[in-house]
Amino acid sequence: MDQITLTATAANWTEAAARQFAAVLSYVGVDSLRGQVESGAAQLFELYVDKSFDPCGWYVLRIDQSEEGPEGVVVAAVGHWAGVDITATMLPLVEKQFYGCVSVRVHTDRPGMVRKLLKQGYGQPEMIVRKKL
């Protein structure tokens, strides 16, 4: 596939986004994610390829304060487009949205996603494990 252009648009929470996130999230519930967006603690974005009219993905961003300064957080993301590595194509767009932040943190529980992120220059400073009781 030739070079594609991704664009992102801030969006309100939708049932379409909820269905897509529900299919891939296991570490955070969709209701929790929706709550962050609807309370204003995080922002939902719809992702579009070239001039498509239907979103090919969604992601949720927020900014946390750390001792070093503001840190951009990719809370959750989901998307696909045939023949395109959405992760590698989307990350530069997301990183630009975190203008002024000192770092970017991505939350995932998918080992394949961790491998993709490491290839994009992300480090793994710690590992968190969780058990539901």
- For 47-91, how does the pLDDT look when each residue is reduced to its tens digit (9 = 90+)? 998 777 888 899 999 999 989 999 999 999 998 877 777 788 888
- Answer whether CATH 3.40.630.30 is correct for domain 6-119: yes
Any idea which residue has 């609807």 for tokens?
A: 38
Say what the pTM is: 0.86
Average pLDDT over residues 120-129: 80
| Range list of β-strands (E), 50-107 | 57-66, 69-79, 103-106
pLDDT in tens, 91-111: 889 999 999 999 999 888 788
Q: Which two tokens stand for residue 33?
A: 């994610």
CB atoms within 10 A of CB 17: 25
